[in-house]
Amino acid sequence: MATATATTRLVSGLAALVARLENAKDDEAAAREARIEAEAQIVAACGFSQAEGSATFRDADDKEIRVTLTQPVNRSVDQAAWKSIEADLPPSIREVVRWKPEVSITSFRALDSDALALVAPAITSKPGKISVEVK
């Protein structure tokens, strides 16, 4: 499967748009830092320290303000370790781990048209967000 090649074209006014993008990125970074700081202050003020789960808090003076804090725990599977113990586990315990099929982009792009026709009914392709990189 052929991929598109990039070409360089001249665009009038691009420098001003790039400057606008860079300013927006700076504003976004500052806003992100301010948000993270405000979130940390809220967590500290509420005394929230659960290892996992959520709790809801209300402002003592303004009962309309309600904040729910949630502490997620991300879990992952060590595939080699799992495969070494999986056969010894009963089915009810084996279902703790699910395997999610995913498309290998490299292999997919390397398919010829006949092979692509075979897998096409099972694969959905949707355009993603256009990436903008300024060098």
DSSP bridge partners of 67: 57
pLDDT for the residue numbered 41: 96
Per-residue pLDDT tens for 98-131? 888 899 999 999 999 999 999 999 999 898 887 8
Domain that holds residue 75: 14-122
pLDDT for the residue numbered 131: 80
Say if pTM beats, i.e. exceeds, 0.85: no
Please report, rounded to a whole number, the percentage of residues in the chain having pLDDT higher than 70.
96
Q: What is the DSSP string of 63-84?
A: TT-EEEEEE-------HHHHHH
Q: Is residue 29 part of a domain?
A: yes
Per-residue pLDDT tens for 47-71? 999 999 999 999 999 989 999 999 9
Element (H, E) at 48: none
Q: Is residue 115 part of a domain?
A: yes
CA dihedral for 5, 20, 129, 135, sign (positive or negative): positive
Q: Is residue 49 part of a domain?
A: yes
At residue 69, what is the residue type? L
